[in-house]
Structure 1
Amino acid sequence: MSARKDQTFEERGLETLAQRWRWFVALAAICFALYFVINKAEVIRFFALPDTDDNMRMMQVRALLNGQGWFDLRQYRLNPPTGANIHWSRLVDLPIAGLILLFRPIAGAGADRIAAAIAPMIPYVLLLFSIALTVRRLIDPRAYPLAFLALIFAASTNGMFMPMRIDHHGWQLALLALSVSAIADPNRIRGGITLGVASSLSLAIGLEMLIYLAIFGVTMVLFWIDDPAERDRLRPYAVTLGGGTSLAFLLFASNDNRAAVCDALSPVWLSDAVLAGALLFLLALLSPADWKRRLALAAVAGMAVAAFHALAWPHCLQRLEGVSPEVEQLWLSHVREARPFYRHGWRIAPLIIALPITGAIGWGLLIWLRRGDRELLRRTIGAAMPGFAALLLLFWQTRTGPAAQMLATVGAATLAWTLLPPLWNSRVSAVRVIGTTAAVIVCAGALVPLILNLVPAEKTTPFQKSIGVANRLCASLWGLHPIAQQPRGMVMTFVDLGPRLITVTHHDAVTGPYHRNGEQIADVMKFWRGDAAQARAIAAKYKATYVLSCPNSSTATIFMSETPKGFYMQLEHGQVPGWMKPIPLPKDSPYRMWKIVA
């Protein structure tokens, strides 16, 4: 379409944004990817997989490529020969494995590094397109770049897509964004199919988004209660939810997940999804004209699903991890991401909550602006609900931060799209320049980061510095190189060090931070907290060859503060029992290592 002669430069630019939006989204994806790679160049170079889950994902992919069974997800380098019970699925392994196979003929052993750099950015493309679709459908076809602007300041969200971040959280976030775009879709059949497929894939990957999936299901039913024509959205959603979840279970549920476990897609959640899908399909078929009858039928269906779950799977009514009180006390209670945002200090907490609050205000404004169009208002409220829920969930656990920030970008775009035109068109140059700049900063969620950057950071104590140094060096290839030079053996080390150790050395470890392995986690924690006799018995139980300690690391501080007379502190004070022989390491090594000799 050619531009009209009377169009201004701004009008032509906005029209191009609307018409060529796919190209602009692709360009944005390339720009984000380049920034991510440049920002994480050193991380890529040194294969610094940032989290225990990233290391474990790499080991799962390697096991698959080395011939381990598709449905066998046990990690046999932890707690051999039984292996560690890992509750994931193979779905997220596929793109990583494909990239490794693609680059192996070119890069050899370096293919792992290349794959780990590229793989996290694949779901980011889906995330960008999904956010753009939501903005185009609810705000304006030209407003999506404003959501991308806010996404720049969504540090928690972007952190899940950085090179080397190969665990499953990026895919979960991308599917969450796709689900929101499906709710916003004016095409009911397409929206229902998309939401059902996205929900099934999310369940196949893990249960982290279970609360949001439940909100989506309730939203579909409320749409139908409000307007019987929404059966055209409800029916395909019901079919794809039940059928897609069944297919996902058949293709991706591991051998261990075929038991009635609560923490992954298993017969528990499969039966719930199939029953819910069948009942929703029945509701769509009936669709009585009276909204009160639709509400009553929906209530009966909801109670039927709840009653079935409670009666068939009563063991899944509590915490899904199912850890014992002992493991909760010794380990899970120390996991930082399980704490509410306000327990992370005055500098970190505002960074987590600022954009979600901005987004909630924007979503509220968008709902108000759409109040005159019942159908559009319904879709807007439905798309806004996950964002409001994510904000509230931050008062429970910080791990919801990435989802909260991502969902807030649409609300932030609403604020900017509403405030910028009158400021930009102002006849007063000061208002036009200063007001527009201020609005962009505030609406993008950049105000809090900018203010905090102006506040001098608190001076860290030498002890705090030592913790950061230890955490960094003990996970480094340099720090683990001398460990890898020792003859292969079973290593008794900290829970959080297990996955990294088996990823970059030939050693085995007792366990990693994976809740199904509660016995091993409890034993490792007690090894460091008790006396030498208890430590010797636990080491013998796992036929340990070595003991490996990372002094002053975050895990070590737990033993230092809670068990000052425990085995870890005894070793730190030089009280080494006769059954352990020190292994010489380089003088600047972050580790201390002993060989068990008796």
Structure 2
Amino acid sequence: MANAPGAAFGGDFDGKVLDRYWVRLALLAWVLIAGYYLYERWPQMRFLALPDTDDNMRLMQVRGLLNGQGWYDLRQHRMNSPLGFDIHWSRLVDLPIAGLILLLKPFVGTVWAERAACWIAPLLPLSIAILGLGATVRRLVSPVAWPLAIVFLIGCTATMLMFMPERIDHHGWQLAMLSLTVAGLADPKGARGGITVGLASAVSLTIGLEMLPFCAGAGAIIALRWVWDRAEAPRMSAYALTLAGGSTLGFAAFASEANRVLRCDALTPVWLSVMIAAGALLFILARIGPEKRAVRLILAVLAGAAIVVGFALVFPQCLGRPEQVSPELAKNWLNNVREAKPIYQHPLRSAFPIATLPIIGVIGAAVATWRARRTPRMIGWVAVLLFTTFAALMLLWQMRAGPGAQLLAVPGAVALGWIIFPRLLASKIMLVRVVGTVVAFLIVSGLFAGYAIQYLPIDRPSARVNTINKASGNCSANYALRPLDRYPAQTVFTFVDLGPRLITLTHHDAIAGPYHRNGPAILDVQHGFGGTPENFRAIARRHGATLLLVCPNMAESTVYRSRNKGGFYDQLAHNEVPAFLEPLPLPDKSPLRLFRIN
């Protein structure tokens, strides 16, 4: 499997070059890919068009750090006036952004240094993801198969969105750690592989808990390898020590003051205790190492049960949702977050392209495992097959698993392509060589799904949905919000989803953003827009808000209109303006409406 396909894709010299200089060439490919994305997205980038509320809040967090806010103080003082609120993130992802700003500021000034940092920072973890996947396919498929992994990765639309310029939130870094995790699982050198998985998991957990299920799955696979083969003890020992030690260092160096209490939504003492306990138990099991496989299985099961039962007894408050929000907020907001819903609850037009490659990856990993059944690579392929299957099944829980599932599908897809493509290219029939190879590539890479779904008459967005999407984009645009700075800085009562963008682009403060620790303020905004005008005025006064900013047809506005017929916002949408609101002028064609609250 390692030699013949490589010869089909290039000569012996090419194979030696691809093998010997693969890291340099992979990084060169990363530079070219990064350059293309910077060029392709320049029209949007130059306006600081941060695509998500989290990206805006990340920049505000970095600004706070550079303006003298404490390293362990992650309170956002420009939201939820006058108290502010503590966000559950850590400082780890702030470092490259802040470093780039400090590096570039003397040359281009603060404004352009910020923008350039937002362009470059998301592309940095892409290099790690490329190297992680390259190492995996080199170990399991062929030393010269890594270019195909890069090509397939570029086709992972959900994954690549997390590495795009200005996507400065932490998901790209967590995906990079996931690529290192699968590389560690595939590593034939046990101790090195264990260290890789342990450190990658610790870094990911230090950033946030989004990848906790993947980290747990990787740990379970390492334990199963030890159960199957006692010789895997060095891998499990190294993993246990680095997971526990890395998590401890991550907590000490990056956990905010607000994360040093028993919260369930970040690497707090709750999850740090779990990582230390899991690491200690796995290390002890590896050191004991009973000869009989059945005994090792029983011990592994008992260790897992001890962690689960101990967690339930010591931290019962964390058995529910880690966000620990009120039932009202869960019903009105958190339960309706689209990415938190299973894939089968999403329209086929968006679900099919995301799910296709993970399914192909599972098939490819299964085929590769079977073909490697009598070789040393079988154990590595079994680990990748289990991990890829686990990631694909995660889509049945939450759609947000899509980027990780696509990334983990790449090794299996490469293995499948490495079997199919050379046979087609070696055909004596030109039609098979050309058309057959192109069709096979589109299928194995999963790219056919995105193309095919465009021509199927299903789940096409309605005119109403297009209007909402257009309005949502226009409302957060630079040209729409910047004119607000003509008014003195004050607190603005506006939509929850507009809050982070407002405080990023203007000197005004907001009341709420879509963050669960900001829950009471979110409910205040919902109650203000959904209740009576008098109730809105009282809530606004309590928060010191003197301006009201709304955007007709923005997605959030439709919720207030549909859920609260006759409520304050519904009246406002029908031009029933209370006497205490004074309309304020904005530029012509502005999508926003601004009022002074008297």
TM-score with structure 1 setting the length: 0.96
CA distance in 2 between counterparts of 1:460 and 1:126 reads: 36
Amino acid at match of 1:278: A
CA change 1:92–1:430 in 2 (3 A) is same
CA change 1:301–1:340 in 2 (3 A) is closer
What's the counterpart of residue 262 of structure 2? 260
Three-state SS of the structure 1 residue aligned to 2:492 is strand
Three-state SS of the structure 2 residue aligned to 1:261 is coil
Establish whether residue 403 from structure 1 lines up as the match of residue 396 from structure 2: no
What's the counterpart of residue 481 of structure 1? 482
Question: 183, 186, 193: which one pairs with 2:185?
Answer: 183
Three-state SS of the structure 2 residue aligned to 1:491 is strand
1:100 Cα deviation (Å)? Answer: 0.3
What's the counterpart of residue 89 of structure 2? 88
1:446 Cα deviation (Å)? Answer: 1.5
Unaligned 5+ segments in structure 1 are 1-5
Q: Out of 339-348 and 232-241, give the one that drifted further.
A: 339-348
What's the counterpart of residue 467 of structure 1? 468
Q: Out of 77-86 and 55-64, give the one that drifted further.
A: 77-86
CA change 1:8–1:346 in 2 (3 A) is closer
Asked whether the equivalents of residues 55 and 503 of structure 1 are also in contact (C-alpha less than 8 Å), the reply is yes
Three-state SS of the structure 1 residue aligned to 2:363 is helix
CA distance in 2 between counterparts of 1:188 and 1:301 reads: 21
What aligned pairs does 1:376-455 form with structure 2 within 5 A after superposition?
376-455=377-456
Establish whether residue 532 from structure 1 lines up as the match of residue 533 from structure 2: yes
CA distance in 2 between counterparts of 1:187 and 1:478 reads: 55
Amino acid at match of 1:116: C
CA distance in 2 between counterparts of 1:293 and 1:365 reads: 31
Three-state SS of the structure 2 residue aligned to 1:69 is coil
CA change 1:7–1:57 in 2 (3 A) is closer
* Deviation digits for residues 180-203 of structure 1 (CA, Å, limit 9, x no counterpart): 101111111111111111111111
Question: 164, 170, 173: which one pairs with 1:171?
Answer: 173
CA change 1:46–1:575 in 2 (3 A) is same
Question: 339, 342, 353: which one pairs with 2:341?
Answer: 339
Amino acid at match of 1:504: L
What's the counterpart of residue 542 of structure 1? 543
What's the counterpart of residue 4 of structure 2? none
* Deviation digits for residues 555-575 of structure 1 (CA, Å, limit 9, x no counterpart): 111112222312111111121
CA change 1:568–1:7 in 2 (3 A) is closer
CA change 1:339–1:303 in 2 (3 A) is closer
CA distance in 2 between counterparts of 1:426 and 1:54 reads: 49
CA distance in 2 between counterparts of 1:107 and 1:317 reads: 50
Three-state SS of the structure 1 residue aligned to 2:84 is coil
What's the counterpart of residue 152 of structure 1? 154
Question: 280, 284, 287: which one pairs with 2:286?
Answer: 284
1:35 Cα deviation (Å)? Answer: 2.1
1:371 Cα deviation (Å)? Answer: 1.3
CA distance in 2 between counterparts of 1:220 and 1:206 reads: 22
What's the counterpart of residue 67 of structure 1? 68
* Deviation digits for residues 12-60 of structure 1 (CA, Å, limit 9, x no counterpart): 3233222221122112201210221122112211100000000000000
Question: 137, 140, 143: which one pairs with 1:141?
Answer: 143
CA distance in 2 between counterparts of 1:376 and 1:337 reads: 36
* Deviation digits for residues 246-302 of structure 1 (CA, Å, limit 9, x no counterpart): 111111110110000000000001111111111111111111111112112212211
CA change 1:9–1:110 in 2 (3 A) is closer
Amino acid at match of 2:361: G
Q: Out of 550-559 and 27-36, give the one that drifted further.
A: 27-36
Asked whether the equivalents of residues 81 and 544 of structure 2 are also in contact (C-alpha less than 8 Å), the reply is no
Question: 190, 197, 200: which one pairs with 2:199?
Answer: 197
What's the counterpart of residue 317 of structure 1? 319
CA distance in 1 between counterparts of 2:283 and 2:583 reads: 67
CA distance in 1 between counterparts of 2:102 and 2:81 reads: 27
Amino acid at match of 2:52: D
CA change 1:7–1:100 in 2 (3 A) is closer
Unaligned 5+ segments in structure 2 are 1-6
CA distance in 1 between counterparts of 2:400 and 2:549 reads: 29
Asked whether the equivalents of residues 8 and 426 of structure 2 are also in contact (C-alpha less than 8 Å), the reply is no
RMSD of equivalent CA atoms: 1.7
What's the counterpart of residue 25 of structure 1? 26
Establish whether residue 48 from structure 1 lines up as the match of residue 49 from structure 2: yes
Amino acid at match of 1:28: A
Three-state SS of the structure 2 residue aligned to 1:545 is strand
What aligned pairs does 1:323-362 form with structure 2 within 5 A after superposition?
323-362=325-364
What aligned pairs does 1:214-225 form with structure 2 within 5 A after superposition?
214-225=216-227
CA distance in 2 between counterparts of 1:38 and 1:8 reads: 30
1:554 Cα deviation (Å)? Answer: 0.8
* Deviation digits for residues 389-413 of structure 1 (CA, Å, limit 9, x no counterpart): 2211212221111111111111111
Asked whether the equivalents of residues 60 and 93 of structure 1 are also in contact (C-alpha less than 8 Å), the reply is yes
CA change 1:560–1:153 in 2 (3 A) is same
CA distance in 2 between counterparts of 1:8 and 1:585 reads: 61
Amino acid at match of 1:162: M
CA distance in 2 between counterparts of 1:330 and 1:104 reads: 43
Asked whether the equivalents of residues 84 and 511 of structure 1 are also in contact (C-alpha less than 8 Å), the reply is no
Q: Out of 584-593 and 463-472, give the one that drifted further.
A: 463-472
CA distance in 2 between counterparts of 1:398 and 1:181 reads: 24
Asked whether the equivalents of residues 120 and 164 of structure 1 are also in contact (C-alpha less than 8 Å), the reply is yes
1:238 Cα deviation (Å)? Answer: 1.0
What aligned pairs does 1:576-595 form with structure 2 within 5 A after superposition?
576-595=577-596
CA distance in 1 between counterparts of 2:36 and 2:123 reads: 11
Three-state SS of the structure 1 residue aligned to 2:594 is strand
CA change 1:552–1:45 in 2 (3 A) is same
Three-state SS of the structure 2 residue aligned to 1:546 is strand
CA distance in 2 between counterparts of 1:516 and 1:458 reads: 35
* Deviation digits for residues 118-149 of structure 1 (CA, Å, limit 9, x no counterpart): 00000000000000001011111111222222
1:359 Cα deviation (Å)? Answer: 1.2
User: What number of residue pairs does the alignment pair up?
Assistant: 591
CA distance in 1 between counterparts of 2:18 and 2:267 reads: 41
Asked whether the equivalents of residues 420 and 439 of structure 1 are also in contact (C-alpha less than 8 Å), the reply is yes
Asked whether the equivalents of residues 9 and 422 of structure 2 are also in contact (C-alpha less than 8 Å), the reply is no
* Deviation digits for residues 199-241 of structure 1 (CA, Å, limit 9, x no counterpart): 1111100000110111111111111111111111111111111
What's the counterpart of residue 3 of structure 1? none
Asked whether the equivalents of residues 331 and 522 of structure 1 are also in contact (C-alpha less than 8 Å), the reply is no
Amino acid at match of 1:145: P
CA distance in 1 between counterparts of 2:295 and 2:277 reads: 21
Asked whether the equivalents of residues 340 and 394 of structure 1 are also in contact (C-alpha less than 8 Å), the reply is yes
1:322 Cα deviation (Å)? Answer: 1.1
What's the counterpart of residue 241 of structure 1? 243
1:11 Cα deviation (Å)? Answer: 3.7
What's the counterpart of residue 14 of structure 1? 15
1:459 Cα deviation (Å)? Answer: 7.1
Asked whether the equivalents of residues 204 and 252 of structure 1 are also in contact (C-alpha less than 8 Å), the reply is yes
Asked whether the equivalents of residues 43 and 164 of structure 1 are also in contact (C-alpha less than 8 Å), the reply is no
1:378 Cα deviation (Å)? Answer: 1.9
CA distance in 1 between counterparts of 2:344 and 2:293 reads: 42
CA distance in 1 between counterparts of 2:363 and 2:496 reads: 41
CA distance in 1 between counterparts of 2:460 and 2:319 reads: 45
Q: Out of 524-533 and 389-398, give the one that drifted further.
A: 389-398
CA distance in 2 between counterparts of 1:390 and 1:460 reads: 29
Amino acid at match of 1:380: W
